[in-house]
Amino acid sequence: MNSFAVRAIDIGYGHVKYTDGLDPDTHDVAASCFPAQSPIAPKRMIETDATLRRDTFLVPCDDQVYEVGRDVHLALNTHHVSEVLDQKYPLSTAYKVRLYGALNYMSHGLPGGVLDYLILGLPLTTYFTLADSLAKRFTGKHIINTRGQTITVNHCLVYPQPLGGYAYYLMKHGAQSKGTPRALIIDPGYNTVDWFVCQGMTASEERSKAIQRGMSAVLREVAEHLIQDMGLDANASEIVRYIDQSRLAGTPLLLYGKPIDLSVYMPAGNHIVEEAVQAVKNSIGSGADIDVIVVTGGGASMYSAELQRKFPQHEVIELEEPNLSNVRGFHYLGERLASSAARAAGLKDSIGA
102 with 56: CB under 8 angstroms? no
DSSP string, 155-223: EEEEEEHHHHHHHHHHHHH--BTTBSPEEEEEEE-SS-EEEEEEETTEEEEEEEEEES-SHHHHHHHHH
User: Residue 260: which residues within 8 A CB-CB, separation 6 or more?
Assistant: 226, 252, 253, 254
Answer whether residue 255 is part of any domain: no
Domain that holds residue 99: 6-162+324-344
Q: What pLDDT, on the 0 to 100 scale, is given for residue 68? A: 95
pLDDT at 84 over 80: no
Q: Is 256 left (phi over 0), alpha (psi -120 to 50) or beta?
A: left
3-state secondary structure of 144: coil
- Rounded Cα distance between 326 and 248, Å, is 16
Q: What pLDDT, on the 0 to 100 scale, is given for residue 343? A: 80
- Please list the residues that pair with 293 across neighbouring strands: 184, 316
Q: What pLDDT, on the 0 to 100 scale, is given for residue 178? A: 58
Burial 288-311 (b: 16+ CB within 10 A, else e): eebbbbbbbbbbbebbbebbbebb
Q: What is the domain-level CATH number for residue 63?
A: 3.30.420.40
- Rounded to 5°, the CA angle 325-323-87 comes to 105
pTM for this entry: 0.88
How many other C-beta atoms are found inside a 10 Å radius of the C-beta of residue 172?
15
Answer whether residue 209 is part of any domain: no
Answer whether residue 312 is part of any domain: no
Tell me the pLDDT tens digit for each residue of 244-260. 888 877 889 999 999 99
Answer whether residue 313 is part of any domain: no
How many other C-beta atoms are found inside a 10 Å radius of the C-beta of residue 73?
17
User: Residue 238: which residues within 8 A CB-CB, separation 6 or more?
Assistant: 78, 79
Tell me the pLDDT tens digit for each residue of 299-319. 999 999 999 999 999 999 999
- Rounded Cα distance between 178 and 130, Å, is 36
181 with 196: CB under 8 angstroms? no
The whole-number average pLDDT for the span 178-195 is: 88
pLDDT at 332 over 50: yes
Answer whether residue 338 is part of any domain: yes
User: Residue 232: which residues within 8 A CB-CB, separation 6 or more?
Assistant: 226, 239, 255
> Structural domain tally of the chain?
1
Tell me the pLDDT tens digit for each residue of 11-64. 988 899 999 988 888 788 999 999 999 999 887 777 676 555 789 999 999 899
Share of the chain above pLDDT 90, in %: 60
Answer whether residue 107 is part of any domain: yes
Q: Is 77 exposed, middle or buried (0-12, 13-18, 19+ CB in 10 A)?
A: exposed
Answer whether residue 64 is part of any domain: yes
Q: What pLDDT, on the 0 to 100 scale, is given for residue 126? A: 86
pLDDT at 200 over 50: yes
104 with 113: CB under 8 angstroms? no
Answer whether residue 100 is part of any domain: yes
Q: What pLDDT, on the 0 to 100 scale, is given for residue 2? A: 41
DSSP 39: P
34 with 70: CB under 8 angstroms? yes
Of the candidates 140, 171, 144, the one whose C-alpha atom is nearest the C-alpha of residue 154 is: 140
Tell me the pLDDT tens digit for each residue of 170-185. 888 865 545 688 999 9
Among 105-119, 198-212, 271-285, 289-303, the least confident range? 198-212
